[in-house]
A = this chain, B = another copy of it.
Amino acid sequence: MKSIKAVSYPVHFQEKGYEELSNLISNKNYSTLFILADENTFECCYPKFIPNLKTDIRIEVIEIESGEINKNLETCAGVWNAITELGGDRKSLVITLGGGVITDLGGFVASCYKRGIDFVNIPTTLLSMVDASVGGKTGVDLGVLKNQIGLFANPEMVIVDTNYLETVTEREIKSGTAEIIKYGITYDSKLFYEIKNNKGLDIKDLIFRSIEIKNEVVLQDPKEQNLRKILNFGHTLGHAIESFYLESEDKENLTHGEAIAIGMVCESYISEKLLGFPTEKVLEVKDVVLSIYDKIDLLKEDFSAILELLKHDKKNVNGQVNFVLLNDFEDYKIDCKVPVDLIIESMEFYNN
């Protein structure tokens, strides 16, 4: 599978990635490799990864606790202290080996350590392969607010190796699928209908196509001034719902994909009411989502807390929540204001 040249770094697939990583390491003359993993990826992915790494350079593994709840500044401080204690310097390379928490946090940690050291992302979940791997967004959460602290910073390269997907659960695969559906809805309706009709799709092809799309979008608008905002479709309400479940101690957390899937159903409905997005397509989006994900009951009494969390969306200006909505598949409108009543109605539409 050929490599994709992203904004200012390449995405390499399968074994080609490790060859290129070895080249990078010898060309750049790094002093130490710091591999950032969590307890799961250290157990399951590290043994797959390490035989591919041909180098004599010192390797140190830094393990953090898995889970979105640990994607925060305290974890960053722990990693920074660990790198410091292990003798990190400006010629150190950070290799992230994990899902979106690891790649987002690791990229941020590397970009701020001694004003910036190199990093390479090796996503091990479907979600991080199709979403976190391209685009240069790094960051951590502030309390329950997702990715409030972070940077645009590019890795030296990304390695996508689908062998790591053998290590993740069905639920995690589904979480990544939501982003692929999003690429279909917003940028490539053919892809959407392929998923809807589910004709023996090869996961490698879906990943390649998703990265191609994200890359096309990001190349045109790296700093998210306009077109890139389509990648937020489903995420405005989706992030608020995800944060709400994260902060609710009596509720099981949703995966990112589960929350975003609900967000896409709601925002399709809002698009219909405000922009005339076709009714039959709203229903198709809902059908596809419910064919993949278990139905969640959004409780009426929780609506106000979810609406409150919307106020912290990064796209907001002057306290106004800005949605990206759809005129049709592949046809978007940014910076849409949505009446609160309609947001509530959209969650009821999802529920019913």
Please report A residues at the B interface, Cβ cutoff 8 Å: 31, 73, 76-77, 80-81, 84, 87, 89-91, 108, 111-116, 137, 139, 142-143, 145, 147-152, 311-312, 314-319
Q: Which residues of B contact A90 (CB under 8 A)?
A: 314-317
Of the residues B116, B148, B311, contact of A151 by C-beta under 8 Å: B116
Whether A151 and B84, one on each chain, are in contact in the complex, defined by CB atoms closer than 8 angstroms, is: no
Instruction: For the complex formed, measure the closest distance between the CB of A310 and the CB atoms of chain B, giving whole angstroms.
Output: 13
Q: Which residues of B contact A145 (CB under 8 A)?
A: 84
Q: A113-B148, A113-B149, A149-B113 are in contact. Are A142 and B318 (CB under 8 A)?
A: no
Whether A115 and B142, one on each chain, are in contact in the complex, defined by CB atoms closer than 8 angstroms, is: no
Whether A143 and B317, one on each chain, are in contact in the complex, defined by CB atoms closer than 8 angstroms, is: no
Known: A81-B143, A84-B148, A114-B148. 18 other contacts (CB 8 A): A31-B317, A73-B77, A80-B149, A81-B142, A84-B312, A87-B311, A90-B316, A91-B317, A108-B112, A112-B139, A112-B149, A112-B150, A114-B150, A114-B314, A115-B151, A116-B151, A116-B152, A151-B151
Q: A73-B73, A143-B81, A312-B84 are in contact. Are A150 and B317 (CB under 8 A)?
A: no
Per assembly, the copies of the chain total 2
Q: Which residues of B contact A316 (CB under 8 A)?
A: 89-90
Q: How far is the CA of A80 from the CA of B148 in the complex (A)?
A: 9
Q: Which residues of B contact A89 (CB under 8 A)?
A: 314, 316-319
Q: Which residues of B contact A113 (CB under 8 A)?
A: 148-149
Whether B115 and A152, one on each chain, are in contact in the complex, defined by CB atoms closer than 8 angstroms, is: yes
Q: How far is the CA of A191 from the CA of B315 in the complex (A)?
A: 49
Q: How far is the CA of A84 from the CA of B318 in the complex (A)?
A: 12
Q: A148-B114, A149-B113, A317-B89 are in contact. Are A142 and B84 (CB under 8 A)?
A: yes
Q: Which residues of B contact A81 (CB under 8 A)?
A: 142-143
